[in-house]
């Protein structure tokens, strides 16, 4: 159990367009999902915490109007990168937290975004 999927796995888009990334918990309900970003050879940086049915909580320095997060159900959260620019190119990873044990997060396979 504890499988998390992400779609798409890779996306290339033109500068100025928007891209939506989906994160799904396949075999459990996740009241909380997290979105991370990883730069090459660096650690995972938490961008925002997504709670089902409420507004996402963004980390300091993350533009909420640029990275729109929607957690519409207990198994789905989406991250939309609006008006993407080349500096938004990165590896985006989501995770989902089970109810118990509540600290353990299970990660999706990640999405490689390239903005040209």
Residues in the site for other proteins, rule: CB under 8 A? 2, 4, 6, 32, 34, 42-44, 46, 49, 57, 91, 93-95, 97, 101-110, 112
Find the shortest distance in angstroms from Cβ 108 to other proteins. 5
Find the shortest distance in angstroms from Cβ 114 to other proteins. 12
C-beta closer to other proteins: residue 35 or 81: 35
Find the shortest distance in angstroms from Cβ 72 to other proteins. 20
Q: In 3D, which of 30, 31, 35, 34 has the Cα closest to residue 3?
A: 30
C-beta closer to other proteins: residue 71 or 97: 97
Find the shortest distance in angstroms from Cβ 41 to other proteins. 9
Beta strands (DSSP E) in the chain are: 4-7, 10-13, 19-25, 32-38, 44-51, 57-58, 67-73, 76-81, 90-97, 105-107, 111-115
Structure tokens at 8: 């798409």
C-beta closer to other proteins: residue 57 or 82: 57
Structure tokens at 43: 């650690």
Q: In 3D, which of 23, 21, 24, 4 has the Cα closest to residue 13?
A: 21
């Amino acid at each position: 159990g504890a499988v998390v999927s992400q779609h798409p796995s890779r996306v290339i888009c033109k500068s100025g367009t928007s891209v939506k990334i989906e994160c799904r918990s396949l075999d459990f309900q996740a009241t909380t999902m997290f979105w991370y970003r990883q730069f090459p050879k660096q650690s995972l940086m938490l961008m925002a915490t997504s709670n089902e049915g409420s507004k996402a909580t963004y980390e300091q320095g993350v533009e909420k109007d640029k990275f729109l997060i929607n957690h519409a159900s207990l198994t789905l959260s989406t991250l939309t990168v609006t008006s993407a620019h080349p500096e938004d190119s990165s590896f985006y990873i989501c995770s989902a937290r089970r109810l118990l044990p509540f600290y353990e997060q299970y990660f999706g396979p990640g999405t490689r975004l390239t903005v040209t």
